[in-house]
Amino acid sequence: MAKVIVTGGSGLIGQAFCREMHNAGWEVVVVSRNPQQASPVESFCRIGWEDLSHEMESAHAVVNLAGENIGAGRWTEEKKQRIRESRIKAGEAVLQAFRQVSRKPTVLMQSSAIGFYGIQHGDTPLDETASAGKDFLSLVGVAWEDSTREVENLGVRRVVIRTGVVLAREGGVLGRMVLPVRLGAGGPLGSGKQWISWIHLQDQVRAMRFLIETPSSRGVYNLSAPHPVQNRDFMRTLAKVLKRPYWLPVPAFALRLLLGEMSTLVLDGQRVIPARLLAEGFKFVYPELEGALQNLLE
């Protein structure tokens, strides 16, 4: 039985990924700051960061998902510092563990996000060759990815996953978007023209396993469905699935007042295409938004 070590295993993606790997026959080890506390990640083995290098000696893969939740709370300067430092420090700790072990895991999967591309691209489709942006999330993404880059010099296959907006039954952004629609007040957010590059949680974790189990896969991959949509179409489809009216837009200024700088998460976006995943033969269970929402909400 091959072993995979997961940092950030208690988050939305982390929990689903651990279950996916466990069901596929992998031994799953979760790295935690408090390994003795009760875990939402079922009964998987939990270790502290101080034990990471020891566990690596017998591991095939390491998946680094650790990082502060960007969608929880306003982006104060302190919050922004935690968002950045939590990602970089986790990456540095993983890199240090790789340096310490003589028998290194074969592959490292490094988490990132499509925020890497920034908000300056407009309607331009973005594959993995697109350049980084210059805003806060872009700079965080660049630093996050760079934090483990050195493992490639140690002979380790590294896969970087730039994840889009993950849709799930519980957790994530979908619940927040569903509530006003259920109340009959659903409509586009701001201009409604901003792109949402989304992915069903099931496809997210299936794609992660696919990349780990495919020895030729290395480098950067966009993890988003092949058909991104504009916000107005997302909200219209959501209203259709919930059989609720598609109503007036929520003004951009109101969202900026409510959310501050964090409003970029709903008012700005990127039109991202998973070009490398598709080229390597990955098949999405939910390539279209309506089917994904029907599965999650009906």
**Confidence at residue 258, expressed as pLDDT on a 0 to 100 scale:** 64
Whether the Cβ atoms of residue 62 and residue 30 lie closer than 8 Å to each other: no
**CB atoms closer than 10 angstroms to residue 124:** 11
More confident residue, 27 or 252: 27
- pLDDT tens digit string along 176-197? 788 888 887 788 888 889 999 9
**Confidence at residue 8, expressed as pLDDT on a 0 to 100 scale:** 92
Checking if the pLDDT of 170 tops 80, the result is: yes
Residue 278 backbone zone (phi > 0: left; psi -120 to 50: alpha; other: beta): alpha
What is the distance between the alpha carbons of residues 235 and 245, in angstroms, rounded to a whole number?
Answer: 10
Checking if the pLDDT of 238 tops 60, the result is: yes
- pLDDT tens digit string along 5-60? 999 998 999 999 999 999 999 999 999 887 666 456 566 888 999 999 999 999 99
Fold observed for domain 3-297: Rossmann fold (3.40.50)
Q: What does the block give as tokens for 106?
A: 């074969």
Checking if the pLDDT of 246 tops 80, the result is: yes
Whether the Cβ atoms of residue 212 and residue 159 lie closer than 8 Å to each other: yes
**Confidence at residue 41, expressed as pLDDT on a 0 to 100 scale:** 59
E-only strand ranges, the chain: 3-7, 27-31, 45-47, 61-64, 107-113, 125-126, 157-163, 165-167, 195-196, 198-200, 219-223, 229-230, 271-272
Domain ranges of the chain: 3-297
Contacts for 61 with CB less than 8 Å, ≥ 6 apart: 2, 3, 4, 5, 105, 106, 107, 108, 109, 212
Contacts for 230 with CB less than 8 Å, ≥ 6 apart: 192, 193, 194, 195, 196
Q: Which one-letter DSSP state was computed for residue 152? A: G
- pLDDT tens digit string along 121-157? 889 999 999 999 999 999 999 999 999 999 999 999 9
- DSSP-derived 3-state class of residue 280: coil
